[in-house]
Amino acid sequence: MKKGFIFDLDGVIVDTAKYHYLAWKKLANELGFEFTLEQNELFKGVSRKRCLEILLEIGNIQASQEQFDRWMIEKNEDYLEYIAKMDASEILPDVPRVLEFLKNKKVPIALGSASKNAKPILEKVGLLPYFESIVDGNNVTKAKPDPEVFLIAATNLQVAPQDCVVFEDAVAGIQAANNAQMTSIGIGDANTLTEANYNFNDFTEMTDDFLNGLLA
Ligand code: BG6
Ligand code: MG
């Protein structure tokens, strides 16, 4: 039976949440209010547009469509400045080991991310060649927890959804994987990712035996 593996990007492969946070915080401060790390948790796995909607709700700010669009662009431009400086040192621990393990087993790998910046980030950190398919914010119409992003990835890999394994750090992402009938693996706090089929704090905890078990 052919298996397929799908990785989320932000918080699974690289810790870009801190850059998203700094860019959103700068905008919030410009608009005259604070944006905390705790509030940033709500932004994980959530589309850029929805993040801005939440940010403006936090700041109790009404915006015209024109202002809204301008702030979306401004936040992304600030975020891209951080991304421009990224290199392989920002890959999260043991991600390359797991990618290499799967490659050696000839298991097809896809990216399933809400980000519209996914491809340049993978390029910057040098991991792009591992991915047979990149499905990101540019390819989807429905946000996680809708399963669309992962179902497109499964189709691209030519693997049945129930034979796909998803690595996710966001609650909405685990729900999306479950909604797609895939095996969901939470990367992060098990107390937060309670709906995941399996949980690891990070990839250093994931043994080759566990990965072999998923392939069996
Ligand atoms: C997700 C992040 O991967 O991508 C979210 O977890 C982010 O925080 C979303 O808002 C969209 O990213 P981008 O790069 O298109 O603004
Ligand atoms: Mg994520």
Ligand 1 atom nearest to 50, measured from its CA: 10
pLDDT averaged per 10 residues in sequence order, the chain, 216 residues: 95 96 98 96 92 98 98 98 96 98 98 97 98 97 96 98 97 96 97 97 98 96
Do 35 and 25 form a contact (C-beta atoms < 8 A)? yes
Which residues is 199 bridged to in the sheet? 186
Dihedral (CA of 126, 127, 133, 137) sign: negative
208 is catalytic: no
pLDDT score at 121: 98
Q: Where are the domains of the chain?
A: 4-15+89-215, 16-84
Cβ 44 under 6 angstroms from ligand 1:
yes
Host H or E run for residue 154: helix 148-157
- Mention the CATH class of domain 16-84: mainly alpha
Q: What is the pTM of this model?
A: 0.95
Do 137 and 72 form a contact (C-beta atoms < 8 A)? no
pLDDT score at 41: 85
| CA–centroid distance, residue 17 to ligand 1 (Å) | 8
Ligand 1 atom nearest to 11, measured from its CA: 6
CATH number of the domain at 4-15+89-215, out of 3.90.870.10, 3.40.30.10, 3.40.50.1000, 3.90.1310.10?
Answer: 3.40.50.1000
Cβ 117 under 6 angstroms from ligand 1:
yes
Q: How far apart are CA 189 and CA 177, in angstroms?
A: 17
Q: How far apart are CA 81 and CA 70, in angstroms?
A: 17
pLDDT score at 149: 98
